[in-house]
Amino acid sequence: MKEIYIVLTHTGTTLSNIVKYYTKEKYSHVSIGLDKDLKELYSFGRLNPYNPYRAGFVREELHGGTFARFKNTIGAVYSFEVTEEQYSKIKLMIEKIKLNKENYKFNIIGLFLVSLKKKYKRKDTFYCAEFVKYILETSLNKEGTLPEIIKPMDIIELDNMKLVYEGLLSKYSYRYELNFFSYTI
């Protein structure tokens, strides 16, 4: 078995505050990670941390890019187990998008229509939650499991999600901690 990571964040930018206002939820962005250290973390978001108007497929960094620019980004990291075959499918789907990223666009219209509970979808366009939903539902054969009009926090409704961290994203460090108890007689 392998683990996949879902990372929910809120940077405090104008757009993230608008998303948070309409969704009424703590987090406004979602990414998918392929490793426990989140070195392979992907989503649809800002292409340049200083330019909110250019967005698309991005490989995100915990200590670089947008998250480094917005140092007070809060986040929640969830893990869940997948089979080796499912993990390979997820990785392959992400690689295909990465290789053709210039063909993919940010679905800004779809993002704003979420507040009106309307869906707008064009070929090869995603906002963050649509991207993660597409990757998970397709690779895990769970089409229709998540809401059609998806918000970032809807992703953690999938079965077997386990919260592994919540707090400042810059403080995230994945480590298995063993609790040892000593008893005095």
Parse the chain into domains and list their residue ranges. 2-171
**Percentage of residues in the chain having pLDDT higher than 70:** 94
The whole-number average pLDDT for the span 106-113 is 94
The whole-number average pLDDT for the span 95-115 is 95
pTM for this entry: 0.91
* Sign of the dihedral through C-alpha 109, 114, 120, 121: positive
Distances (CA, A) of 144 to 70, 86, 107: 34, 17, 20
* pLDDT tens-digit map of 68-88: 999 999 999 999 999 999 999
* Cβ atoms of 48 and 64 closer than 8 Å: no
- Report the alpha-carbon distance of residue 172 to residue 102 in Å, rounded: 31
Q: Classify domain 2-171 by CATH number.
A: 3.90.1720
Residue 174 has pLDDT above 90, yes or no: no
The whole-number average pLDDT for the span 25-32 is 97
What's phi and psi for 132, nearest 5 deg?
Answer: -65, -40
